[in-house]
């Protein structure tokens, strides 16, 4: 699959969500334009099937131990030169140091461009995740390698961590974001933007692009998109920060990741990510994948263990489909054992459920909505 004279690209995180999406994009649309070397962690989470697929599509697959700089350099010895690096930082607490290890290794191979998947708003250093990604950006800037930063909004695929909440007949999306909104992005759209940069690097070197989903959505709106995509009722609950922390603790999420996501939730609640960007459309001529499309394409996973009303698991969601037979959706407040009743809030309009938008998050109701059809 190698070609003499073609630029060589090293893709890190090739077995992860973003890396795997780029693998498919390059194979489908840009085969023969690049020599691609895919890098996976030396302690891989990728399946044997995934690794075999990578080896069939690339010039080489290398295993890198990001914690051992000497081993990274040694693993890359068979690669004569590396012209471009597509860098997806790891999920480790010290990912900035790990990223520096990879960057140093490819510098020795003559790298001419680094394309970094970064975080939207990281230049503000608002929170742990932002600081980590900004540290990586500043390291690249300091050593003077031409670069492109892809600053991405939080991923749509983060909702896959909530699969357990979709076991019940009425699925639940619980986040402490109040009335805040953001525009989650699909990993395939990040890959499409990256591919556009990598095949024409001269046009993009030195640029920073902001990549978001096509629309800003509140928690209630996301539940609505999920309901349409999964063809079953989905509700949103504005849980407390402590409840979100406890849920992640029960799921075994490491403390530093828990803290990072809680900071993200606070920022979403304050509207920090509430501006969609045109950059994805500029790079790809595509506005981006909607949340409804994301849930629809992952319907089998979200609906795999839906319980019937008697508590038994069922692979069929026919009752949910019947309840959503028509496209006209309505919102109604819902109450259950885990959700407080909606409080009355004072407002000039006198409407009991209308909150002033400038109210502090502590005054926002624990909103829970069930989306259903008007039959």
Query: What does DSSP say about strands 329-333 and 368-373: parallel, antiparallel, or unpaired?
Result: antiparallel
Q: How many CB atoms lie within 10 A of CB 123?
A: 16
Question: Distance from first CA to last CA of the chain, Å, rounded?
Answer: 56
State the pTM of this model: 0.81
Q: How many CA atoms lie within 13 A of 180 on its CB side?
A: 21
pLDDT at position 42 over 60: yes
What confidence category does residue 314 fall into, taking pLDDT thresholds of 50, 70 and 90?
low
Q: What range does the domain containing 329 cover? A: 157-184+215-273+291-345+354-375
Q: Residue 352: pLDDT band by 50, 70, 90 thresholds?
A: very low
Q: Does any domain span residue 110?
A: yes
Q: What is the mean pLDDT of residues 24-43?
A: 83
Number of structural domains in the chain: 2
What pLDDT shows up at residue 115?
A: 98
Domain end (from 130, 152, 174): 152
Give 251's Cβ-side CA count (13 Å radius): 17
Provide the pLDDT confidence category of residue 49 given band limits of 50, 70 and 90.
Answer: low
Q: Are residues 136 and 162 in the same domain?
A: no
CA atoms within 13 A on the CB side of 317: 26
Mean pLDDT of 352-356: 35
Confidence (pLDDT) at 198: 94
Q: What per-residue confidence (pLDDT) applies to 30?
A: 77
Most confident of 13-22, 71-80, 213-222, 311-320: 213-222
The pLDDT assigned to 321 comes to 40
Report if residue 206 sits inside a domain: no
When pLDDT is cut at 50, 70 and 90, the band that residue 43 belongs to is low
346 has a pLDDT exceeding 50: no
Average pLDDT over residues 312-339: 39
CATH for 364:
3.90.25.10
- pLDDT value for 219: 97
Residue 336 predicted with pLDDT over 70: no
Same domain, 264 and 233: yes
Is 204 a domain residue? no
pLDDT at 62 over 80: yes
Q: Are residues 98 and 180 in the same domain?
A: no
**Domain at 84, CATH number:** 3.40.50.720
- Structure confidence at residue 45 (pLDDT): 58
Same domain for 177 and 116, yes or no, is: no
Residue 199 within any structural domain of the chain: no
Question: What value does the mean pLDDT take over residues 52-75?
Answer: 79
Tell me, yes or no, whether 205 lies in a domain.
no
CB 204 within 8 A of CB 259: no
The pLDDT of residue 34? 87
CA 344 to chain centre: 35
Contacts of 147 (CB under 8 A, 6+ apart): 113, 114, 115, 116, 140, 141, 205, 206
Does residue 12 sit in the same domain as residue 104? Answer: yes
């Amino acid at each position: 699959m190698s070609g003499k004279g073609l630029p060589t690209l090293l893709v890190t995180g090739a077995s992860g969500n973003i890396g795997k999406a780029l693998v498919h994009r390059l194979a489908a649309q840009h085969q023969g334009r690049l020599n691609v070397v895919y890098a996976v962690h030396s302690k891989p989470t990728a399946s044997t099937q995934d690794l075999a697929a990578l080896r069939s599509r690339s010039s080489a697959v290398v295993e890198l131990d990001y914690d051992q700089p000497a081993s990274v350099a040694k693993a890359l010895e068979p690669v004569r030169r590396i012209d471009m690096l597509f860098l997806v930082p790891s999920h480790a607490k010290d990912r900035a140091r790990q990223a520096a290890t990879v960057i140093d290794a490819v510098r020795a191979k003559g790298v001419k461009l680094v394309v970094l998947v970064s975080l939207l708003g990281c230049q503000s250093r608002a929170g742990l995740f932002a600081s980590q990604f900004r540290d990586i950006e500043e390291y690249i800037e300091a050593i003077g390698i031409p670069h492109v930063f892809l600053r991405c909004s939080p991923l749509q695929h983060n909702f896959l961590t909530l699969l357990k909440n979709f076991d019940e007949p009425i699925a639940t999306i619980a986040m402490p974001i109040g009335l805040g909104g953001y525009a989650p992005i699909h990993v395939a759209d990040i890959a499409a933007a990256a591919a556009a940069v990598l095949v024409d690097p001269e046009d993009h070197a030195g640029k920073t692009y902001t990549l978001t989903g096509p629309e800003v959505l509140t928690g209630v709106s996301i539940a609505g998109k999920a309901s349409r995509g999964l063809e079953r009722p989905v509700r949103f609950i504005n849980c407390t920060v402590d409840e979100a922390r406890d849920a992640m603790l029960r799921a075994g999420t490491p403390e530093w990741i828990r803290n990072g996501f809680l900071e993200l939730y606070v920022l979403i609640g304050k509207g920090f990510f509430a501006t969609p960007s045109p950059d994805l459309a500029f790079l790809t001529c595509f506005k981006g994948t909607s949340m409804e499309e994301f849930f629809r394409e992952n319907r089998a996973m979200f609906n795999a263990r839906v319980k019937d009303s008697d508590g038994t698991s069922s692979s069929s969601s026919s009752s949910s489909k019947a309840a959503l037979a028509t496209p006209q959706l309505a919102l109604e407040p819902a109450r259950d054992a885990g959700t407080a009743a909606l409080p009355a809030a004072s407002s000039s309009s006198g409407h009991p459920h209308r909150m002033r938008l400038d109210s502090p998050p502590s005054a926002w109701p624990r909103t829970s909505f069930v989306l259903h059809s008007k039959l």
